[in-house]
Amino acid sequence: MYITGGRVIDPWQGLDAVADVLLQDGLVRWTRSAGGDAPAGARTVDARGMIVAPGFIDLHCHLREPGQEHKETIASGGLAAARGGFTTVCAMPNTEPAIDTPERAADVARRARETAPIRVLPIGTITVGRAGRQLADMTALAGAGCVLFSDDGAAVIDPALMRRALSESAQLGIPLSQHSEDPQILGGAVAHEGEAAAQLGLPAGPASAETRIIERDVALAAETGGRLHVAHASTAGAVELIRAAREGGAPVTAEATPHHLTLTDRALLGERGPQYGWPSGPAADTSLRVNPPLRAQQDVDALVQGLTDGVITAIATDHAPHAAEDKARGFAEAAPGISAIETAFGLLMTALVHTGRLDVSTLITRLTLGPADVLGARAEAEGLRGLTPGASADVVILDPNRAWTVRADRFASRGRNTPLEGCTLRGMVIETFAAGRRVHSVMDDAAAPTRGAGRP
Ligand code: DOR
């Protein structure tokens, strides 16, 4: 496969130039400045006017298998990922049962190899059953292929346990992805403490529910040398704590989600994005119920600044598909989460790049090299080395300008829970190649308006 004439952005090479890329036998053969002759026998893909980049890497998604296959499967979520431009995703372990033994982790990896069109890497729990009482056998989980540890959906509350987990992490060289929300401060809150929650009469919680956990964990990471990765950072205070920790040399990284980077709690009042021409939505729409909750504009601004500065080095989707009945309840009772992986690129382009808040090469870096660096040696071992010779041929072709309107009934994901229904996004994933295989193409989608699960 010979991809010609595109604007190639490869953070691994510091490359942002019109270039040609040759894929062969599942690997990148080379990336060269544009204009050479087509290699004999190669199929040519004309990428003029497009961006060509390494496939995106998602450190945080929920694929629900085993146990909640009515919400998502590794196959349907893998296909959704491919459509979103992701060629590697890390699957959160809050399945049923939770991924807290090496056998279960190996089972996820096997199902992924058999059914997903892209690379799915398992995440193991920090504690047995995610119950926060007893450490899981992290060494055995690492041996079974886990790339991160997380009790996501819940924080590890016990500080002594978290300290031991970080010590283990230091030994294993594998980060802990902590869901930083203190349930005692939250006390059942379902929205950010602010005007929107007050107007709607929703139980609301403060930013300190997040910052208190991060503050503690940063100190524990610095003491133990354990690698702390802050999942879905959502507040200005979190950005400042992470900034100070990194400046002080603590082994701390962080991710932010597309929704926390682009939407505020005003969306709960129906104001999803009038500045983008989006229609207003219903008030207290349960598709906006998410943990941590959507925050204030100043928090969004701080996250975007953190993304620009490199305090937040990864964008992770927190793709959290739910069934319609899980959302067909009152706001407080609805299941938290957004089916986010298919809209991530379009949303980020529309709200951050086309508004001039972020340049597109930084966006690509935070979707590729940033997450690969969190995975460290494991990313190297998987061939996640951008578009350098010998890297896994994981490549996306992106149209930065093409507009499309979100229709959840056309998602590959079984989760149709998006707050962006009917919104027009500018920026589209045209084609996705995983290990050299075309796993998504908009041409195919046009021919197949309704999607099923499984291999494309
Ligand atoms: O909104 C969320 N949904 N946040 C989480 O941390 C968990 C996730 C889920 O599993 O649905």
Report the atom number in ligand 1 closest to the C-alpha of 179. 6
Query: 142 near 168, Cβ under 8 Å?
Result: no
Ligand 1 centroid to residue 291 C-alpha, Å: 6
CA 333 vs CA 13, 27, 329: distances in Å: 47, 47, 6
**Does 3 score more than 80 pLDDT?**
yes
Ligand 1 centroid to residue 153 C-alpha, Å: 5
**What integer pLDDT is reported at residue 305 of this predicted model?**
98
Is residue 55 within 6 Å of ligand 1 at its C-beta? no
**Does 456 score more than 90 pLDDT?**
no
Query: 215 near 226, Cβ under 8 Å?
Result: no
**Residues with Cβ < 8 Å from 162, sequence gap 6 or more?**
126, 156, 176, 178, 216, 217, 220
Report the atom number in ligand 1 closest to the C-alpha of 322. 11
Mean pLDDT for the stretch of residues 152-172: 98
Residue 100 gets which letter from DSSP?
-
**What integer pLDDT is reported at residue 449 of this predicted model?**
43
Ligand 1 centroid to residue 358 C-alpha, Å: 27
**What integer pLDDT is reported at residue 450 of this predicted model?**
42
Evaluate the CA torsion angle 404, 410, 413, 416 in order and state its sign: positive
Mean pLDDT for the stretch of residues 416-440: 98
Look over the chain and give the mean of its residue pLDDT values, rounded to a whole number. Answer: 96
For a mutational test of ligand 1's pocket, the pick from 232, 290, 322, i.e. the residue with the most ligand atoms closer than 8 A to its C-beta, is 290
Ligand 1 centroid to residue 316 C-alpha, Å: 13
Euclidean distance between CA atoms 142 and 137, whole angstroms: 9
pLDDT in tens, 169-193: 999 999 999 999 999 999 999 999 9
Residue nearest ligand 1's atom 1 by CA: 337
**What integer pLDDT is reported at residue 38 of this predicted model?**
86
Q: Which residues are catalytic?
A: 318
Ligand 1 centroid to residue 59 C-alpha, Å: 14
Report the atom number in ligand 1 closest to the C-alpha of 181. 6
Please state, for a pLDDT cut of 90, what percent of the chain lies above it: 95
Burial 224-246 (b: 16+ CB within 10 A, else e): bebbbbbbbbbbbbbbebbbebb
Mean pLDDT for the stretch of residues 270-278: 94
Euclidean distance between CA atoms 151 and 47, whole angstroms: 41
Is residue 290 within 6 Å of ligand 1 at its C-beta? yes
Is residue 142 within 6 Å of ligand 1 at its C-beta? no
Ligand 1 centroid to residue 294 C-alpha, Å: 13
Nearest C-alpha neighbor of 350 from the set 288, 394, 413, 401? 401
For a mutational test of ligand 1's pocket, the pick from 125, 152, 417, i.e. the residue with the most ligand atoms closer than 8 A to its C-beta, is 152
Report the atom number in ligand 1 closest to the C-alpha of 154. 6
Report the atom number in ligand 1 closest to the C-alpha of 94. 10
**Does 445 score more than 80 pLDDT?**
no
Output the six-digit token pair for 304: 């975007």
Q: Which residue is listed with tokens 């292929």?
A: 145
Q: 424-434 and 395-405 as β-strands: parallel, antiparallel, unpaired?
A: antiparallel
Confidence label for 452 from pLDDT (cuts 50, 70 and 90)? very low
Please state, for a pLDDT cut of 70, what percent of the chain lies above it: 97
Confidence label for 447 from pLDDT (cuts 50, 70 and 90)? low
Mean pLDDT for the stretch of residues 11-26: 98
Is residue 291 within 6 Å of ligand 1 at its C-beta? yes
Confidence label for 443 from pLDDT (cuts 50, 70 and 90)? confident
pLDDT in tens, 26-52: 999 999 998 888 889 999 999 999 999
pLDDT in tens, 325-347: 999 999 999 999 999 999 999 99
**What integer pLDDT is reported at residue 219 of this predicted model?**
98
Is residue 400 within 6 Å of ligand 1 at its C-beta? no
Nearest C-alpha neighbor of 92 from the set 103, 79, 106, 108? 108
Ligand 1 centroid to residue 51 C-alpha, Å: 31
For a mutational test of ligand 1's pocket, the pick from 62, 263, 338, i.e. the residue with the most ligand atoms closer than 8 A to its C-beta, is 62
